[in-house]
Amino acid sequence: MAEATEIQKSLSRTQALLGNELKRVSNVASAIDDDGKVLEDTMNEQKSMQVDKAKKALTNLQLAQQREQRYLMASIIFFWLVVAYIFWARVVLHMPFIDTTIWSLRKLLS
């Protein structure tokens, strides 16, 4: 009988230990779930921040591209104006017909 009581006490202790371990594992599992939710929220926040940064970078790139296109167009216009001036000064003004026409116009205006 003493042996049966001893076995019963041992089984009760084992049951208590298993109950405690079950509670501990349950607490650990809920802590892991909570940490997983925190990590997921952090990941979603980071993704939204990265999307915002990407949108801002894309907007800046588009503005820079527009500015560079304006500079390029202004440079091309300036280049062709210089070419036209050089052509006018070197070729057109030294043609005999135009030279006499300009001389005649100057004489008429004076």
**Cα(20)–Cα(25) distance, rounded to whole angstroms?**
9
pLDDT of 110 higher than 70 = no
Q: Residue 69 CA to chain centroid, in angstroms?
A: 21
Identity of residue 8 = Q
Residues with Cβ within 8 Å of residue 92, at least 6 apart in sequence: 98
The pLDDT score that the predictor gives to residue 33 is 86
Residues 66-93 have a mean pLDDT of 91
The pLDDT score that the predictor gives to residue 98 is 61
The pTM of this model reads 0.47
Q: Which two tokens stand for residue 81?
A: 């104006």
Q: Is 5 helix (H, G, I), strand (E, B) or coil?
A: helix
Tell me which residue has tokens 């216009």: 77
**Cα(26)–Cα(32) distance, rounded to whole angstroms?**
10
Residues 57-63 have a mean pLDDT of 93
Q: Which two tokens stand for residue 9?
A: 């006490």
The pLDDT score that the predictor gives to residue 102 is 64
pLDDT of 27 higher than 80 = yes
The pLDDT score that the predictor gives to residue 62 is 95
Give the chain's mean pLDDT.
84
